[in-house]
Structure 1
Amino acid sequence: MAYLDNIRTFVRVYELGNMSAAARDLRISAAVASSRISQLEEHLNVRLFQRTTRLLNPTEQGNLFYHGATKILEAVDEAEAEITSVTQQPRGTLFLAAPLGLGQRLIAPAVPKFNAEYPMIDIRLRLSDRKPDLAAEGLDAMFFLGVPEDSNLRIRKITDCPRILCASPDYIARRGQPARSEELKTENHDCLNLRYPGAPEFQWPLQTPDGVRRVPVSGPFECDHGDVLTSWALDGHGIILKPVFEISEHLASGRLVPVLEDEPPVPIQLACLYMHRRRQDPKARLLIDFMVDHILANMPA
């Protein structure tokens, strides 16, 4: 097992590009991680990384070994998973990520239910409106709103989520109800947007009589937390673009009202993403199936 541990450590260091980050991910000390890499290099009689005080870059031999190492680990993980699936209750730890709105409302409540059914599987849930890197962050699966750019991931589409433009009645009373999408680009209206590192420019895709138009929008402030945007809209600070499931209670109560109903936003795809492997870890498949069923059963209409 020591040799496999060394290989696992090498793969995480390679993927994260940082010894300390890999050690944290593996829940070992940086000294242990460094020792494992050294043992592996001594065993292979090659340098796997070029080390400087600030950088850790794989050598040519390191690049070659990485591709073989990932195949070894996938084969071992698949073999262990198959044995577990037929000999005992599924066990282990799974890392799952989701956007804040979806995660708080639909994923987090389902985690204890899943654990009650599969008590030997521990769940580590990470919620963020930032788009995580599934491979670099060691995630088994993540839920995603939109169309992912990484073609190396497998996509399981769940549903298309209706979206809505809305604002508070107080905002509409002060600033008026826009009649056309072009008005969103003027100084007459403030649009509240989700901004995080790497976020695209703000363009809201709206279904107009002339087809889908991507309308550039802006506002006086923005945030990387979707629920903060909702709070600002509730307080009358602007217009938001949201999946209906995130704000259904505010629409039902009248605290938020629809805007531009004749030019609604394009629905957004909700999908589950996971790494492209020959066979998926059975316990990860159990978790994904469970969460998909829970989402579809509890998604507000």
Structure 2
Amino acid sequence: MGILYCLKSLMEHEAMNKINSFFKNWKSHEGVTTIKQIEAHFGSIVLSLEKAGSVIVQPPVDKLWFSIALLDTKIDRKVENWHLEKMKIAAFNASINPQGRALKASYLEDCMSIHVFFDPSFLNEFAEEMGCKIDASKVYPIHGIHNQQFSAVAKSILMPLFAPDMQSLRLDETMQGALRYICDMYDIKSCFYGARMSKPQLQRVCEYIDENISEKLTVEDLAQVARQNRTAFSTKFKNTVGMTPHKFIIQRRIARAEDLLRNSKHTITEISAICGFSDLAHFCHVFKRCHGVSPQQFNKE
């Protein structure tokens, strides 16, 4: 349902025919196929099909870029100098990929994705407008960003990709909106300067959170895992990841809950406990704040 359903209300008939033809011929595609590419002032957009079993090896590029999955999928992703991530990504979730690092992604299920590459000059213009400094090579990978904003960004990008009469849409403004959202939501600006955690420290902390997701997790616990005092840890963690430790823990709990809602037979009450929420009401409140729908509604989609 995902992509076709949401696009029907957005596209002209001619554009929808083009999209339908891609899906009808899905089985004829092998590996990774580039469907459409647009070059613009901000950089470039690539729309691609990734067949189950295909592998993308992206050499280092001098651009910050992000990807939005348009279908639910499973990916094993390895960013250079970063730990292997086995991910279940829901449709319209996004992943941010740092500048200057190679990436290898193995698709375990069929997927359709949008990849947006930002030109460094556009980032500099954006940084000047925002009053900050940007060193895109220091941005750490962030995956599974789930918010309705990225759904809106994806739809805004797809329209001019498939509808020639909509090329007048100002893609630069759409991209500025995406960057502004990323900065506001995850405080990405703090990734561009300041004291940072080492990669082994951050990996230990991430693994500890995932292994103890059902438990009460405190900043003191994480600081101990990183072998730092609480104040230094909190500052360096935010500078490295782009969000506070508390916010990161909530994101991981919600990501785990999303996976269980889609792929397990646990009740919502059980999922709330498994993911470490103090009570069902709190879980439902946080989940709806992140997704815009309750766990019950999400489970029915």
**TM-score band w.r.t. shorter chain:** under 0.3
Question: What TM-score do the two structures reach when normalised by structure 1?
Answer: 0.23
Higher relative contact order (CA 8 A, sep 6+): 1
